[in-house]
Amino acid sequence: MGLGVVLMELLIPVFELFLPIIPGDVFPYFFGGTVRGYPVLSLQRALIAAIAMAIVAGYLGNFLLLQNLALIGDGLAHVSFGAVAIAWVILGASEQPLPYTLAITSICAILIHELQYRGILTGDASIAIFMTGMLGLGLVILRIGEVPLLDFEDYLFGDIYTITEWQLDFIVTALLISMIILALIRPALLAMIIDPVSARVQGIPTRAIGLVFSVISAVVIVSMVKIIGALLVTALLVTPAATAQLISRSFKSCLLWTHFFGLISVLIGLFLSAEMGTGGGSMIAVVAAAIFAIIAIGKSSMSTYSKLKHGQN
């Protein structure tokens, strides 16, 4: 029994306590309940995976925004699409491509970091090159292998409702390991972000920390692709963190608000998706963007009102 299944068995009894107040005709089955005596396991797996993803992606997203690396989410997500194609066609892993995808995407993440660290390419140039190159390679491989692009829709747009037990175990395990490592390197990572030169003087292994962070980014993004899709990864990787930065005054409060906005986006997105019959990943992305818009407009309006009020005085 894998970690994902164990987590589901621990949390579902807790979720069932909220069943009487959960709205909707379909959404309650995410939290428990049965149909003809059988639990709807696919929906429960979707909920567990989405919650785990929201927590870890939000944590990682804050560090990406602090380093102005928001594009890395999209970049590695597109790289992962090419990696899936390589695993599917060349390596013959059409049933379980995620481990191979993770390995290939991690290698690309390391190469991107090294190109930037050595000063060979600056800014987002290396990300853009790998993003377009791997996406193009993936499409070429699929055409040569005569694989219908329709088979890859789950990796482009995500399909949270078809997560298998094995995939849930893989996703939860990968996300948990990533969260633990991020927590361990957090002090060194923050020191590097604030003052890289001072961090090196203090003896912090900045290159090694950067490489670890790159691999962790790849792990989290590959874990997200099946849930929310390669085209929508930034919806939970960047948007909740960006929303939190609008109202936070410290890094700790920003993390808390990020987790809050991420979880709210997941729960409302899954509710609307279940009740309206739309894709789970796309609806989560829409809700996350809507929350950002509401907070941004609200903050802007309050700032304008405050300026007008002080101007009158």
Q: Which residue has the tokens 């059988």?
A: 38
Assign residue 224 the CATH number of its domain: 1.10.3470.10
What would you report as the CA-atom Rg of the chain, rounded to the nearest whole angstrom? Answer: 21
Quick one: tokens of 215? Answer: 């691999």
Partner residues linked to 35 by β-bridges: 38
Distance CA 7, CA 198 (A): 41
Tokens of 121: 């390419």
The angle at the Cα of 166, spanning 160 to 167, to the nearest 5 degrees, equals 35
What the block records as the tokens of 91 is 């390596």
Instruction: Report CA torsion sign: 68, 73, 79, 83.
Output: positive
Distance CA(295)–CA(143), nearest Å, equals: 44
Considering its fold, how many domains does the chain have in total?
1
Q: Which domain holds residue 244?
A: 3-312
Q: How many helices (H) and strands (E) would you count in the chain?
A: 13, 2
- Cα–Cα dist 161/282, whole Å: 12
- The pLDDT value recorded for residue 111 is 93
pLDDT of residue 37: 58
Q: What are the contacts of 205-208 at 24+ separation with CB within 8 A?
A: 207/117
Strands (E) in the chain, as ranges, are 34-35, 38-39
The single residue listed with the structure tokens 């594009």 is 71
Report yes or no: 72 and 220 within 8 Å, Cβ to Cβ: no
Cα–Cα distances (Å) from 206 to 177, 179, 185, 210, 262, in that order, read: 21, 19, 11, 6, 29
Cα 175–chain centre separation: 10
Q: pTM for this structure?
A: 0.89
Going residue by residue through the chain, which has 313 residues, state the pLDDT in tens, using 9 for 90 and above.
688 888 888 888 898 888 888 988 889 888 887 666 556 888 889 999 999 999 999 999 999 998 888 888 889 999 998 898 888 888 776 677 888 889 999 999 999 999 988 888 876 888 889 999 999 998 898 888 887 777 677 778 888 888 888 889 999 999 999 999 999 999 999 999 888 888 888 888 989 999 999 999 999 999 888 888 888 888 889 999 999 999 998 889 999 999 999 999 999 999 999 999 888 888 999 999 999 999 999 998 888 877 777 765 5
Rounded to the nearest angstrom, the gap between the alpha carbon of residue 140 and the centroid of all alpha carbons in its chain is 26
- pLDDT score recorded for residue 312: 57
Tokens of residue 225, six digits: 């692709």
